[in-house]
Amino acid sequence: MSPEADRPQGRAAALVEVFARLRKDSRVGLMTHIVFGYPTVEASRHLVDIMARSGVDLIEVQLPFSDPTADGPTITHACQKALDRGVRVADGLAFAREVTKKYAVPILFMSYFNVVFNYHEKGEARRGVAAFAKAAAGAGAAGLIIPDLPPEEDQERYPETCREHGLHPIYVTSPNVNDRRLEAIAKAASGFVYATSRTGTTGREVQIAMEELGRFLDRAHRLCKLPVAVGFSISKREQIEALSGKAEMAVVGSHLIQVYEKLGLSALEREIRTLAGRKD
- Active-site positions read 60, 71
Rounded distance between C-alpha atoms, residue 11 and residue 264, angstroms: 31
- Show Cβ contacts of residue 22 under 8 Å, excluding neighbours closer than 6 positions: 28, 29, 57, 227, 248, 249
Instruction: Give me the phi and psi of 156, to 5 degrees please.
Output: 50, 40
Ramachandran class of 154: left when φ > 0, alpha when ψ lies in -120 to 50, beta otherwise:
beta
228-231, strands of its sheet edge to edge: 168-170, 143-145, 107-110, 58-62, 29-35, 249-252, 228-231, 193-196, 172-173
Closest CA to 147 of 32, 83, 70: 70
- Show Cβ contacts of residue 41 under 8 Å, excluding neighbours closer than 6 positions: 87, 91, 95
Cis peptide before 39 (omega within 30 of 0): yes
Closest CA to 23 of 255, 261, 277, 248: 248
Handedness of CA 197, 203, 208, 210 (dihedral sign): positive
26 residue type, one letter: S
Instruction: Give me the phi and psi of 168, to 5 degrees please.
Output: -85, 125
